[in-house]
Structure 1
Amino acid sequence: MKLLADENMPYVQELFADWAEVVTCPGRDMTPEQLRDVDVLLVRSITRVDEALLANAQQLSFVGTATIGCDHIDTDLLARRGIAFASAPGCNKVAVGDYVLAALLKVAEHKGWQLAEKTLAVVGVGNTGSQVAARARALGMKVLLCDPPKAQLDPTAFVELAQALTADIVSFHVPFTREGQHATWHLLDEPAIAALHGEQVLINACRGDVWDNAALLQRQQGSAPLTLVMDVWEHEPAVLAPLVPHVLLATPHIAGYSLEGKARGTFALYCALCELQHRAPSMSPEQLLPPPAIAAVHLHDTLDQALIARLVRLVYDIEQDDQAFRAALGKPGFFDDLRKHYPQRRELGSLQLINQNQAAQELGFKVSLPVADS
């Protein structure tokens, strides 16, 4: 069996090399010729799996994407050709929750806010949106949930988009769709952007085309700019460079790029292929991960916003990602290079807080109480 995988997917060799010939390459540069004798294809969101890519893929029997979203996969084509398909829903939801928590704390520092006094609207309450909502509640924030498809089943639990866009902070976590009743292309369009007031904060950690970047630039160049956190960009890997100086935190689509999240994504596809081939999985995700650099911290102070910010930076410093983005902006291939060479990042759950309670756990940390002396 020959397996072709995106070179940015970790642990492919560890999971598949004992039963497949493993070949890796840049995900954005995969060609039909490379798939001529491939049985298994493993991709991430930057690879468009369509008729053109699969033109020569006569042996292909399985396609897996180590992502939640599947808008880059022509699943109808796979079904017609009898090619099995698997994705990895939820694999990076914890990492995105960590990313947005780090962003919220940076926004609060920048604006002099106490987050417990603010309202956060989560637009799209799936795997990642639910994580973000839980972190915000743990910070004491009021949380509004906006998810039109889910609202059809339980209208009382959700608000309309218009109300969500009145919140102090609005975080987007929707799939990307161009058609249908709930299409998300330019969900945040020029009229919606123009109607926002200058103290508001917008966060996008889903898909770049959900926001009209040109309209955002026009707004940011005016007299009442917004505070923006942008992990994703319209027309990736191209970036509207003039917008970047007007963004508080700018990163290259890495919100879900924790080591744990990547491992879960690859492992989900490993399990799917094992099931298809009637093999018993011989490894677990825990066996793949190295020990964290800092495994535990003893705390004796109250867990307030300032201390939470210090603890988050101990595991993940979002400002380093922002600085790397700005330093590389404009260089040929900078966006994909940053993703390819992204430093190892652990999730907050890799850090155990000793002498802490449920609130710290809801923020994403591992917690434990000290053992009393006998």
Structure 2
Amino acid sequence: MPVFSIRRRSFLGLAASVITIVIITYLSAMPRLPNRPMEPHRGRTAPKPTQHTEETKKCQAGYYPSKNDCEPCPKDHFSLPGWISCTPYLKCDEIRSNIRRVRHLASGGVKHVYLAEWNSYSVALNEAHASKSDFAHDVAMLQMLTPHPRVNQPLGACGDLLVTQYHPLSSAEKINEVLGRDKYRKLDTVKTRFRLALDYVGVLDYLHGHSSLVMCDTNDLGKTLSQYLITEDLRLIVNDLDALPSAKDKGIKCGHRQIFGDFVAPEELWPYSNKPFEDEEMPGYNEKTDIWKIPRVVEFLLGGSEESLKVLENLKGIHSKCKEKDPKERPTAKEVLESYKSTWINF
């Protein structure tokens, strides 16, 4: 082999090594990009949670860790517990191709609910079977009011389908059953139960602060409790928002049929005993109907232990105000919440 050929190859190899070293040095000197929520993209798989260190804050669903705290996901994005970033709502193609139904969970007047699986995550798949307008309202309200710690998180929607976060402990009317299980029996304390009461009133405060939204699907205790879910850390979140009108500009009516019973507020009842019910003549009302129902719901949540009865005794004052027949005389949800907090501190 000629000498000049060997020398030429040696020179080229040396040059390549020098260029490689320069490129590596340049890339190492570049500043690192800060952690940010994931940018919108389509056709992706679920981002897997990474191992959290002491420096990385673990955030709840709908939030992602920043330098000092947890930040809410951007609009039309979501995250699940343990994630360090947010991802866009699931679109139609992803919902129809990547969601696998597992089993039926429950059915109501508007939708069926199924346990489903998405990329190894358990999710709730809601499917409308009646009143498509109510279902669309439910989707719109969940998207508008989240992320918020006391509102269930939507993961995406497509026509008659809505995907939400799955909470295996079910709805609030099962709280006594849940706290009776071996896993949670030691947590069946007045502290746990009062925190549930604070969550419930906190939800009302949040809804009333958004254009005076009224929880209409609440004609009895069981129906009211079914609108809320129990999370695995034993907190309450609101889940069903298909009957959530705004009383900001004018009075509302919860449906077009006559309402009966002593659970509902007096103004929800037909006021004219001398003639039959006529929807057109039924007067409207506002969010103070929710306030009337607080004592009954909280009595159920607190249970019948000796300590709970002591707490209820201390709540008699604010609860009697909630039961004023004149809605204008009842406190706001915020005032009830502040009274609860003060009562708990004193207790």
- Please classify the TM superposition score into its range, dividing by the shorter chain length: under 0.3
**Bigger relative contact order, structure 1 or 2 (CA pairs below 8 A, ≥6 apart):** 1
Greater CA radius of gyration, 1 or 2?
Answer: 2
Instruction: Normalising by structure 1, report the TM-score.
Output: 0.24
